[in-house]
Amino acid sequence: MERRTALKNIGGLLLAPSLVLGRNVNEPGKPSLRIAHITDVHLKDKFNAPARFTKCLHHLQQQTPKVDLVLNGGDVVFDMNKENISTINDQWKLMHKIMKDECSLPVNYCLGNHDIWWYEDDKGQALYGKKYSMDQLQLAKPYYSMLKGGWKIIVLDSVHLDIDNTWYIGKLGDEQMNWLSDELKATDANMPVMVMSHIPILTALLMIEDDIVNKWTMLGGDMHTDTAKIINLFYQHPNVKLCLSGHLHMRDKVIYNNVTYLCNGAVSGAWWEGNRRETAPGYGLIDLYADGTFNESYVNY
């Protein structure tokens, strides 16, 4: 299949789980849905980030053929961890203004670790934790599913507090794992499924370290700690085709048991200070076809 270089970005909020959007799925040779995957924007009013993000949005919207839907993989704002409420408010006001002024495409979000308010002095606040960002993004729940272009798209919440309640870890938890299992059981076996999470479910990027002595260090905040359980669940549902993620600001692709695990690079690169190792700032472009196949590419804007 031909690889295409295109994308678009955000603007509205699409949360209706049964909404179907896309092209004529029966038209030969054309994708039923074209998706732009942006992740790790880390927006704040420093590093010339607003102008650079605006440039990215303009770049996305000039692509042909047009993108149908944008998926934002989390870390929408620069950082809510350990920040005071005034700084958090400023970051989100900036995000909303840029999206309103510079982009008109529909978007669906998942939460990243930097979109969660973990400042110990503010634990008593009603909006503490994930609620603040969920309200900003009009998310009723941090995980959900939708039907678009003949595909089911499942958005996961992969960021949770570790056992000591001081930092985060990649996992689903029992409640969400049961929900995911039920969601896949309820999906027609002939309908292809794509999954998006912030933290990668499976990646080879944790092998990239400097000065390895005799072993690699893999932290639970860098990849899902329940990878084996999720992979086993996907094995029972061969219609799961593709898993998108971000978080690591680098790009790789792992194919295991006929599922493609695609980690895309960050819109912000190395937090607006150049490349993250060999991965330049960019976004992913995915063409989904009615037969369950797809094309994907990475665009350096």
Phi, psi of 227 (to 5 degrees): -55, -45
For the chain, residues with pLDDT lower than 70 are 1-29, 119-124, 126-127
11-299 carries CATH number 3.60.21.10 = yes
For position 2, what pLDDT does the model report?
A: 38
For position 188, what pLDDT does the model report?
A: 98
For position 126, what pLDDT does the model report?
A: 62
| Of the candidates 252, 296, 297, 253, the residue with the CA atom closest to the CA atom of residue 276 | 252
Amino acid in position 115? D
Amino acid in position 265? G
Taking the C-alpha atoms of residue 98 and residue 110, their distance in angstroms, rounded to an integer, is 19
For position 63, what pLDDT does the model report?
A: 87
Q: Half-sphere exposure of residue 39, counting CA atoms within 13 Å on the CB side?
A: 30
| Of the candidates 234, 107, 259, 111, the residue with the CA atom closest to the CA atom of residue 183 | 234
For position 123, what pLDDT does the model report?
A: 67
* DSSP string over 1-58: ----------EEE---TT---SS-TTSTTS-SEEEEEE----B-SSTTHHHHHHHHHH
Domain residue spans of the chain: 11-299
The two structure tokens encoding residue 44:
């704040």
Please, what sign has the CA dihedral across residues 279, 115, 41, 77? negative
Q: In terms of DSSP bridges, do strands 69-72 and 105-109 run parallel, antiparallel, or are they unpaired?
A: parallel
**CB count in 10 Å sphere of residue 250:** 20
* CB-based contacts of 65, cutoff 8 Å, min separation 6: 4, 6, 34
